[in-house]
C-alpha cells in the first residue's frame, strides 16, 4: 500500500525534517553544542490519527502509515505506539522520531561538514582571541559565513586591541592578507568582535557599528569646514577648507557668517563685505558646534525651503540660538511657485527652536497646504532674490 496524499494535520517525514531544519536555521542546535548543552538524544513528536479518526478515515490512515514505511529515515529511528479499538483492532502506528546521537542529527540534516568547520573555527578563536567566543556562540551561523576569513578577522581584532588608539587610522592595521577594503567590507562582524574584545572604555556604543573609527577610538577621517570670506583680514584666498579642530582654535576674521547648504549656491553667494560664507552641507551643520567662537558671530542660515531644511535650522540653533534664517519664509515660497519640486521623504519632527514665522511655514509644508510634499530648493530661487536677501541680511556690515 502506498501513500497517495498527505492527510491534513498528520505529521509526515517531510514535516519532521522541516521542523528539524528550522531548529538548525535558528542556531538553536549549534548554540547548544557550543554551550555544552545536549543536542541528542533528540525526540521529535509525530502527530497521527486518533482511534476515531483511524476508524472514520481508514483508507487515509493506511496511506499515512504506508508513507512512513516508504520514507528514507537514514540514521533517524522511528518509534511506534499502539492505536486501535473495537472497529479496526490494534495497530502499531508512528509515534515519534528519535535521533540518538549528535552525529545522527548532523547526518540527517546533511550538515556534518558545517559542524566540523565550526569546531575548527571555535578552536582557532579559543587560541587566538578567546573573548570572541561569546559572539560565535551567539551567532554560530554568521560565524560560519565568515569561516574562510576567520583567522584574518581575529588577527585584525587582536591588532586593534594591542595597537589601536586615537592616533591610529584603520589604514595602519598591519596584518598579512588584510587591506583597508577587507576591513570595510567586513565592518559588521569586526564591530561585533571588537565590542567583545576591547575594554569598555575603548568602545563608544553611541557611534554606528559600521563606523569602526568612531566606535572603537581610532583616528577617523578629519572633518573640515569650507568657507569663503569677504573680510580682507582673512587673506587673499577665495576659498579655504580647514580642519574643524584647527578652525576651532584659530577663527576667521569675519564677524558675520552665512551658512549655506547647496554647494553651487555657496560658490555663487554674493560678495558682501565683512561676511564669510560657510558650506553647511546638509545635516553636517552639526560639525559647526565644534567652533565655540561661532556663537559670538552674527550667523544667518539659508537652507532648502522644505521640512529637512527647517530641521537643519532647528539643529543649528541648538548651539547657536541667535542664528537667523534667510529666504525660508512663506513669501519666498509663494513667489517661486513655478520652481517648486516634490520632497521625497518629508520629516515630521517637532522643531521647537523655529521662530513663529518659520514654524508657520513649516506647518504649512507638513499639512500640504500648497500641494503634496512641496519644496523649494535653494538653487531654484531667483538670483536677484538672493542678492536682495544677502545685502539686506547685514545692513550694518
pLDDT given for residue 85 in this prediction: 64
**What φ, ψ does residue 214 adopt, rounded to 5°?**
-65, -35
State how far the Cα of 65 lies from the Cα of 48, in Å rounded to an integer: 9
Are 191 and 205 contacting, i.e. CB atoms less than 8 angstroms apart? no
Are 261 and 325 contacting, i.e. CB atoms less than 8 angstroms apart? no
Structural domain boundaries of the chain? 13-109, 113-215, 227-393
State how far the Cα of 299 lies from the Cα of 325, in Å rounded to an integer: 9
pLDDT given for residue 87 in this prediction: 62
State how far the Cα of 223 lies from the Cα of 234, in Å rounded to an integer: 21
State how far the Cα of 310 lies from the Cα of 229, in Å rounded to an integer: 25
DSSP-derived letter for residue 89 is E
- Entry pTM: 0.67
Give pLDDT tens digits along the chain (397 positions). Answer: 344 455 568 999 999 999 999 999 999 999 999 998 999 999 999 999 988 888 888 889 889 999 999 999 999 999 999 887 666 667 889 999 999 999 999 999 999 999 999 999 999 999 999 999 999 999 999 999 999 999 999 999 999 999 999 999 999 999 999 999 999 999 999 999 999 999 999 999 988 888 999 999 999 888 899 999 999 999 999 999 999 999 999 999 999 999 999 999 999 999 999 999 999 887 667 789 999 999 999 999 999 999 999 999 999 999 999 999 999 999 999 999 999 999 999 999 999 999 999 999 999 999 999 999 999 999 999 999 999 999 998 865 4
DSSP-derived letter for residue 92 is E
Q: How many residues does the chain have?
A: 397
pLDDT given for residue 304 in this prediction: 96
Three cell numbers, residue 163:
595597537
Amino acid at each position: 500500500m502506498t501513500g497517495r496524499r498527505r492527510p491534513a494535520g498528520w505529521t509526515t517525514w517531510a514535516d519532521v525534517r522541516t521542523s528539524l531544519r528550522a531548529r538548525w536555521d535558528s542556531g538553536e542546535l549549534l548554540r547548544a553544542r557550543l554551550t555544552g548543552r545536549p543536542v541528542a538524544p533528540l525526540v521529535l513528536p509525530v502527530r497521527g490519527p486518533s482511534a476515531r479518526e483511524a476508524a472514520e478515515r481508514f483508507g487515509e490512515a493506511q496511506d499515512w502509515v504506508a508513507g512512513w514505511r516508504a520514507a528514507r529515515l537514514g540514521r533517524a529511528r522511528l518509534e511506534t505506539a499502539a492505536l486501535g479499538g473495537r472497529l479496526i483492532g490494534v495497530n502499531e502506528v508512528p509515534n515519534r522520531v528519535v535521533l540518538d546521537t549528535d552525529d545522527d542529527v548532523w547526518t540527517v540534516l546533511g550538515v556534518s561538514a558545517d559542524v566540523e568547520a565550526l569546531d575548527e573555527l571555535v578552536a582557532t578563536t579559543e587560541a587566538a582571541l578567546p573573548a570572541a567566543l561569546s559572539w560565535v556562540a551567539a551567532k554560530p551561523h554568521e560565524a560560519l559565513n565568515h569561516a574562510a576569513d576567520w583567522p584574518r578577522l581575529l588577527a585584525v581584532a587582536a591588532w586593534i586591541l594591542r595597537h589601536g588608539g586615537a592616533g591610529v587610522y584603520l589604514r595602519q592595521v598591519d596584518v598579512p592578507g588584510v587591506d583597508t577594503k577587507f576591513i570595510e567590507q567586513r565592518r559588521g562582524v569586526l564591530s561585533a568582535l571588537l565590542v567583545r574584545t576591547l575594554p569598555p572604555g575603548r568602545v563608544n556604543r553611541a557611534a554606528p557599528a559600521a563606523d569602526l573609527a568612531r566606535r572603537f577610538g581610532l583616528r577617523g577621517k578629519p572633518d573640515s569646514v569650507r568657507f569663503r570670506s569677504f573680510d580682507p583680514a582673512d587673506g587673499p584666498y577665495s576659498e579655504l577648507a580647514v580642519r574643524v579642530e584647527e578652525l576651532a582654535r584659530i577663527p576667521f576674521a569675519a564677524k558675520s557668517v552665512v551658512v549655506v547648504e547647496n554647494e553651487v549656491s555657496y560658490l555663487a553667494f554674493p560678495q558682501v563685505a565683512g561676511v564669510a560664507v560657510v558650506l553647511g552641507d546638509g545635516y553636517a551643520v552639526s560639525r559647526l558646534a565644534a567652533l565655540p567662537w561661532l556663537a559670538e558671530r552674527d550667523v544667518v542660515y539659508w537652507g532648502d525651503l522644505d521640512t529637512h531644511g527647517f530641521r537643519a535650522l532647528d539643529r543649528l540653533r541648538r548651539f547657536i540660538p541667535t542664528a537667523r534664517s534667510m529666504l525660508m519664509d512663506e513669501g519666498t515660497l509663494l513667489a517661486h511657485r513655478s520652481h517648486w519640486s516634490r520632497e521625497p521623504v518629508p520629516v515630521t519632527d517637532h522643531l521647537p527652536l523655529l521662530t513663529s514665522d518659520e514654524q508657520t511655514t513649516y506647518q504649512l509644508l507638513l499639512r500640504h497646504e500648497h500641494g503634496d510634499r512641496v519644496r523649494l530648493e535653494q538653487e531654484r530661487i531667483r538670483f536677484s532674490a538672493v542678492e536682495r536677501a544677502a545685502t539686506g541680511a547685514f545692513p550694518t556690515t
